Structure 1
Amino acid sequence: MYEIISGLPPYYDTNHNENLVIKICQGLRPRFNINVPQLIVQLIKRCLDANQLNRPATKEIINILRKWQYKESDSETAELQKQIKETEKINNNSRVQIMSSTSLGISYKPHSGAIYTSRLLSFNNLPESKNSDDYYEKNDNIISKEFSGIN
């Protein structure tokens, strides 16, 4: 979902190494540089939950997306349409930010250590996975001018 909305793979600008894995275990999650409708934010947060039992199954995600697409009379779908219009207004008022993220999505340069192929990661003594307090509790949205706090 992150890549579809932002046009960028998550953590494209950082080395995919043990430090990134540890930060993700400690609660690091990708952030958007545009406003995103709240219903979509809630679904994304569920998908990224550290507790895999809280994550929706693929079938549930498909059902949610189909409902939003095809059941226009549904109250949640109507609310999503309203949120989309509101976020489009906000994002259009921030045109510079959107233009740069759109062009970035087309021509971004990934970090040389960003690896997007399946591979076995064998790291010892990783911390227990947790959700970031600010990502899941303090903020209802996942907007940031920077994608993450990684150096």
Structure 2
Amino acid sequence: MYEVISGLPPYHDVSHDENLAIKICQGLRPRFNFKVPKSFVNLIKKCLDANSLNRPTAEEIIEILDKWNDELTNNQSELNSEIREAEEINNNNLSTGNTLLTDLSYETHPEATYTSRLLNFNNLPEPVNYDDYYDEQDDKITSVRLSDSLQIDTTKLKN
């Protein structure tokens, strides 16, 4: 969903290595620097839940997307309202010069790999959710420099 919403591959600007795996286990999730409709944020949070049993199945995701498609035909639906609000906020930010993703040109880190491969990392912490990562108040998934957030909390590593 990150690629679909942002137009960028997730974690494109950092090395796909053990440090990134540890941070993901510690709750690191992709961020956007624009307003995202609350319904989208909620689905993203479910899909990225640390507990795989809490994640929706492909069938459940299809059902949600079909429901959203049906709702979009009704201009009075909550989803339409969320989308209009997000578009208005994003357009206002763009017109006032606030930083938004406006250019899809980007550089991929030389050690960011988007092909299937076996990653055999030892010593990974138990996966957890970082509940504040996606702000529930304004549903804005803010952008941070990922390299700045890759500090490892070694106290949570398994011995």
Is 141-150 or 125-134 further displaced after alignment? 141-150
Counterpart-to-counterpart distance in 2, 1:53 and 1:132: 17
Question: Could you tell me which residue of structure 2 aligns to residue 33 of structure 1?
Answer: 33
Deviation at 1:143, TM superposition (A): 1.6
- Give 1:146 deviation, angstroms: 1.9
**Are the equivalent residues in 2 in contact too, given 1:31–1:147 (CA < 8 A)?**
no
Answer yes or no: is 1:132 the counterpart of 2:130. yes
Tell me if 1:119 matches 2:151: no
Q: Distance in 2 between matches of 1:72 and 1:109?
A: 35
CA distance in 2 between counterparts of 1:78 and 1:93 reads: 23
Alpha-carbon spacing, 1:81–1:62, altered in 2? closer, same or farther (3 Å): same
Considering only aligned residues, what root-mean-square deviation do their CA atoms show, in Å? 2.0
Match of 1:81 in 2: 80
Share of identical aligned residues, percent?
57
Number of aligned residue pairs: give it.
144
State the TM-score, normalized to the length of structure 1: 0.87
Map 1:1-151 onto structure 2 (within 5 A): 1-72=1-72, 78-95=77-94, 96=97, 97-98=99-100, 101-103=101-103, 105=104, 107-135=105-133, 139-140=135-136, 141-146=139-144, 148=146, 149-150=149-150
Matched residue type, 2:8: L
Name the CA distance, whole Å, in 1 between partners of 2:120 and 2:41. Answer: 31
Judging by fraction of residues, say which structure has more helix: 1
Q: Distance in 2 between matches of 1:57 and 1:94?
A: 35
Unaligned ranges ≥5, structure 2: 152-159
Conserved in 2, the CA contact under 8 Å of 1:32 and 1:147? no
Q: TM-score, normalised by structure 2?
A: 0.83
**Cα deviation, residue 150, structure 1:** 3.2
Q: In structure 2, what residue type is equivalent to 1:45?
A: K
